[in-house]
Amino acid sequence: MQLYNTLSADQRAELIDKAGKQRLTLSFYAYAKIEDPKAFRDALFIAWNPLEVLGRIYVASEGINAQLSLPADHFYEFKNRIEDYDFMKGIRLNIAVEHDDFSFLKLTIKVRKKIVADGLNDETFDVTNKGIHLKAKDFNQLLDDPNTIVVDMRNHYESEIGHFKGAITPDVETFRESLPIIEKQLEAHKEDKNLLMYCTGGIRCEKASAFFKHKGFKNVYQLEGGIIEYTRQINEQKLPNKFIGKNFVFDHRLGERITEDIISRCHQCGVPCDDHTNCANDGCHLLFIQCESCQQKMENCCSSECFEIIHLPLVEQIKLRKGQQVGNKIFRKGKSPSLKFKSSGLLVDTPLAKAEKKKDKIIKAAVKKEIVGKGQHYYTKSKVGMFLMEHGNIKIGDTLLIDGPTTGNQKVTITTMYVNGTQAQSAKKSDKVTLSLPFRLRMSDKVYKLL
């Protein structure tokens, strides 16, 4: 039986688009002793694949860590499937703050040594001896206690765009780095302070709370369900929101807005901005913050060097990146010296600007435009997008607006285009149009002509 994903991201996006179903993005984790992680992994794939589950799931002998999406009408069947396992009965499923049908486009279930890499080799450490879980209301009360120290257990690129007010935000690239740093920084307060921790969904601070209890900290607390569950509770119960900015997430969205406050800057020009992007150079793929203006000017590149590389012939680009291992450097390189306005470590709680509401953007984009087509394919290596003309016509010199739940609003002026495989000056209904694009074109994208 086939136990792995075989469809490309574009093929999966097309299926999602055609199905027309609302999908839920959710996450969950559970620490438990799993005797045979490989067999557990295969059983999950067999159970979840028919339910159209997509996502990134890690299993290990210490438990499971899952971020995924599935059709809303399969939610309860999915919940029943996971509760077949005793250690996941009654498990909390963190539903994403913002809706996106295309947050995940593959089902990937991997067996790892640990579900959260901690760098620890201490057999006496008991990960299940965790700190006290706090719901949003109690978290807020303890946060206001002057005897409390609150620590962000996430990494620098996460806390930079959003964090709890007054939190210690370690300047780290990985979770394993943060544990010894925080222990040393707070070693004088093992008994006289409340140690209050939080992370995205709870999995990291759960392990951290057990670690600090193991190291002798007496009053250890953690935010139950992390920022995701906190947001749901404060909205539902009309509680004061102590978080400011955006919550970084590890899917195509790269963030979901918690408040309208922008507390970070474009890493290239310094204007208030909290939108992450990945460098368009396939030999880089650096994750960094980039505003719309720099995105257009730099064509989604992080530096002038990468900008020059993406304009080289494809053969030359392949030669330059031959032998390079890029994947594990995406976040680490976030501290590249080419990013002049990168902030890490000691962060401010003062808003730099207010985010424009999505509804306002949609209204603005709807003025003086007409829909002409729909995304079909994106050729990653050549940076060429293809869309199908469904209405009207376009010609050289026209400006297109490409809009989608993941792509956002992107403008491009046509200087050269190919119609049905041949270079042409204009295109009409039923034509297939290809043109160079500095961003990924998705099946879910609509193509408009600005009037």
CATH (domain of 87): 3.30.70.100
Task: Please check whether residue 172 is in contact with residue 178, taking contact to mean a CB–CB distance below 8 angstroms.
Answer: yes
Q: What percent of the chain has pLDDT above 70?
A: 94
Does residue 121 have a pLDDT over 60?
Answer: yes
Whether 20 and 103 map to the same domain: the answer is yes
Whether 340 and 362 map to the same domain: the answer is no
Whether 103 and 166 map to the same domain: the answer is no
Select from 243, 271, 291 the last residue of a domain: 243
Of the residues 199, 284, 291, 294, only one is catalytic, namely 199
The structure tokens listed for 244 are 């400011």
Whether 95 and 19 map to the same domain: the answer is yes
Q: Give the global pTM.
A: 0.71
Q: Would you call 284 a catalytic residue per the annotation?
A: no
248, part of any domain: no
Select from 354, 375, 397 the last residue of a domain: 354
Whether 282 and 345 map to the same domain: the answer is yes
Angstrom distance (rounded) from CA 30 to CA 62: 8
What is the arithmetic mean of pLDDT over 44-49? 93
Whether 227 and 301 map to the same domain: the answer is no
pLDDT for 218 equals 93
Whether 159 and 208 map to the same domain: the answer is yes
User: 18-27, 131-140, 223-232, 341-350: lowest mean pLDDT where?
Assistant: 341-350
Whether 218 and 309 map to the same domain: the answer is no
Task: Please report, for the domain that includes residue 194, its CATH number.
Answer: 3.40.250.10
pLDDT for 376 equals 87
Angstrom distance (rounded) from CA 175 to CA 204: 8
pLDDT for 330 equals 55
pLDDT for 361 equals 39
Task: Please check whether residue 167 is in contact with residue 150, taking contact to mean a CB–CB distance below 8 angstroms.
Answer: yes
pLDDT for 259 equals 95
What is the arithmetic mean of pLDDT over 281-307? 90
Whether 153 and 181 map to the same domain: the answer is yes
pLDDT for 332 equals 55
118, part of any domain: no
Instruction: Indicate the pLDDT class of residue 1, thresholds 50, 70 and 90.
Output: low
Select from 58, 81, 111 the last residue of a domain: 111
284, part of any domain: yes
What is the arithmetic mean of pLDDT over 171-182? 90
300, part of any domain: yes
Q: How far is CA 371 from the centre of its chain?
A: 29
254, part of any domain: no
| DSSP state for residue 87 in the 8-state scheme | G
DSSP reduced 3-state for 353: strand
21, part of any domain: yes
Nearest Cα neighbor of 259 from 97, 139, 142 is 97
120, part of any domain: no
Whether 26 and 75 map to the same domain: the answer is yes
The structure tokens listed for 437 are 């694009």
pLDDT for 334 equals 61
Does residue 358 have a pLDDT over 60?
Answer: no
Whether 385 and 436 map to the same domain: the answer is yes
| Number of structural domains the chain divides into | 4
Does residue 366 have a pLDDT over 60?
Answer: no
pLDDT for 367 equals 47
1, part of any domain: no
Nearest Cα neighbor of 437 from 418, 412, 404 is 412
Nearest Cα neighbor of 141 from 240, 259, 225 is 240
Whether 202 and 145 map to the same domain: the answer is yes
| DSSP state for residue 65 in the 8-state scheme | E
Strand partners, 111: 59
Following CA atoms 145, 231, 291, 170 in sequence, which dihedral angle do they give, to the nearest 10 degrees? Answer: 40
Q: pLDDT averaged over the chain?
A: 88
Angstrom distance (rounded) from CA 194 to CA 183: 14
Task: Please report, for the domain that includes residue 377, its CATH number.
Answer: 2.40.30.10
Instruction: Indicate the pLDDT class of residue 15, thresholds 50, 70 and 90.
Output: confident
Range of the domain at 418: 358-450
